Structure 1
Amino acid sequence: MTNKVAIDQDFCQAHGRCYALFPDLFEPDDEGRAQVKNDGVVPASSSVDEILAVCPEAAITTV
């Protein structure tokens, strides 16, 4: 199973759930859209499934 995620900027609507719940993995850009930190490597304390489930637009994908 993958341990990296990415943000599809075409789908991100800047809800902010990902960086509010996973600040070690995501941060907002200048427009409030999410961008990954640390090359999108999922921390050991989180699961990929719980991270994917956070985004209502399904903009978070595995790589």
Structure 2
Amino acid sequence: MKVKVQVDQDLCTACALCYDEVPEVYEDAGDGIARVKEEVGGDGAIIEGELAQRVLEVTDECPSGALVTEVVEE
């Protein structure tokens, strides 16, 4: 599976769920607001395999709906 990941920083409430649960993909932008790590490609990065599944799970759990995740390949 492959997913495309983004963070809508205007919706992010800095709850830290995403970067606590999937630190390989998300990080604190310095003010608590999440962002996709540049090391994985930044906003619009494609994540694969088991990591993609974890990203989907945290997307469903995000209380503000700030994580934008699109399945691009099953």
Give the TM-score of the pair, scaled to structure 1. 0.82
Query: Equivalents in 2 of 1:7, 1:21: separation in Å?
Result: 15
Q: Deviations over 1:2-54 (max 9, x none)?
A: 51110001100100000000000000011011010112332422314313113
Kindly indicate which of the two structures has a greater share of residues assigned to strand. 2
Kindly indicate which of the two structures has a greater share of residues assigned to helix. 2
Amino acid at match of 1:32: G
Equivalent pair of 2:5/2:47 in contact (CA under 8 Å) = yes
State how many pairs are aligned.
63
Q: Which moved more, 1:7-16 or 1:36-45?
A: 36-45
Q: Name stretches of at least 5 consecutive residues in structure 2 with no aligned partner.
A: none
The correspondence of residues 3-18 of structure 1 with structure 2, limited to 5 A, is: 3-18=3-18
Say which one has the larger Rg: 2
Taking every aligned residue pair, what percent have the same amino acid on both sides? 35
Q: Name stretches of at least 5 consecutive residues in structure 1 with no aligned partner.
A: none
SS in 2 for 1:5: strand
Give the TM-score of the pair, scaled to structure 2. 0.72
Q: CA RMSD in A?
A: 1.9
Equivalent pair of 2:19/2:28 in contact (CA under 8 Å) = yes
